[in-house]
Chain A
């Protein structure tokens, strides 16, 4: 079972590695969005207010995630899905895809953060919490987006539907992360942040558990 999960993950990585268009596309998307923000705000590096900095950062990350992670099931053709179905259990497919998507999502966030910090300045004071927030937010994002992309792949494959369906469900995770990273920027005492971090982890756990319970049903149809 673990072997199967690893081979699915391996297949995703190899597929991504061989045609780097998808990954490069996301990176280019990130860089150009950040640069557009920089030009439109028309501020010098490090002069943006931290609240705006934070909100803008998360908006960019969410959009990049929707573009990047969403395609995980959309790119699979009908025949391929049927082929996987004969090979292994739905949970295995979901685990493989989920691990890959978490990795992709963390990568998007890290690259986004470094470019963003380079161009618009870096007000973060508590890095451990900022990076923890990025990690758990990425896990939550990819959990939601993987399942929603599975749902959308059954419904006419429209990308507009993808955004509409995932936005409201992403919002709880997004709001928690915005608040947490705001605290990490301000460098608030750690004891005050742990509560929120645990809530974020709990929301992640809820999302991923429901995804695992529900995925076999969309798979079967």
Chain B
């Protein structure tokens, strides 16, 4: 992970997203109009969040199997970055919704589900802070992380599909696949997902290294 090539790719892709997402030609759809550009900044946040949470659960499982403290630090830092992505996703979504739906919060099922998801992970941070013994903290934290993920998946991917959502692509609203014009969007959207996720991974890597250094300093004291 110390190699630089993927960081350069990440930064390049994010810059490409910024420039191409704001300047390139976008399809003009009813209601959405130019706000469709928000997709390159809002949707990748959720993709990044889910990818990093999945990675975090994998590290939590590995921690429980091996008992190696390293994996626990990976898991918690991935969750921290995911929370940042989640908050940014909610914020960008609310700005967009203010112009398209007329209000920042319209009680859309996806909106509510992601807010609940944030609550789950705030509770995870709270739980970790309330345990003092580091071994215990890591173990209980890992268990809660896995359990939370198991309920987050139905929350994010099953429940919103049972009711109509206001989101584009749901409940008869125009969306991604509905138009043959979407090639232009895809050219920016997929690189955007990869770019933002790589940026998140870089952020996490820096925090992981920081907490390794901190634990080393603690040991020497």
Contacts of A151 on B, CB cut-off 8 Å? Answer: 127, 140, 143-144
Number of residues on chain A facing chain B (CB within 8 A): 32
Number of residues on chain B facing chain A (CB within 8 A): 29
Contacts of B119 on A, CB cut-off 8 Å? Answer: 167-168
A155–B143 touching, CB < 8 Å: no
Residues in B148-171 with C-beta less than 8 Å from chain A: 148, 150-151, 153-155, 158-159, 162-163
Residue of A169, A196, A206, A211 near B162 (CB, 8 A) is A196
- Per DSSP, chain B at the interface is helix
- Per DSSP, chain A at the interface is helix
**Interface membership of B207, Cβ < 8 A:** no
| Complex CA–CA separation, A141 to B135 (angstroms) | 29
| Complex CA–CA separation, A148 to B140 (angstroms) | 10
**Interface membership of B213, Cβ < 8 A:** no
| Complex CA–CA separation, A151 to B148 (angstroms) | 12
Taking CB as reference atom, which chain B residue is nearest A152? B127
Residue of A144, A164, A175 near B123 (CB, 8 A) is A164
Taking CB as reference atom, which chain A residue is nearest B143? A214
Contact residues of B with A, CB < 8 Å? 64, 116-117, 119-120, 123, 126-127, 130-131, 135-136, 139-140, 142-144, 146-148, 150-151, 153-155, 158-159, 162-163
Subset of 9 A-B contacts with CB under 8 Å: A165-B127, A169-B147, A171-B155, A172-B151, A199-B154, A207-B150, A217-B143, A218-B139, A221-B140
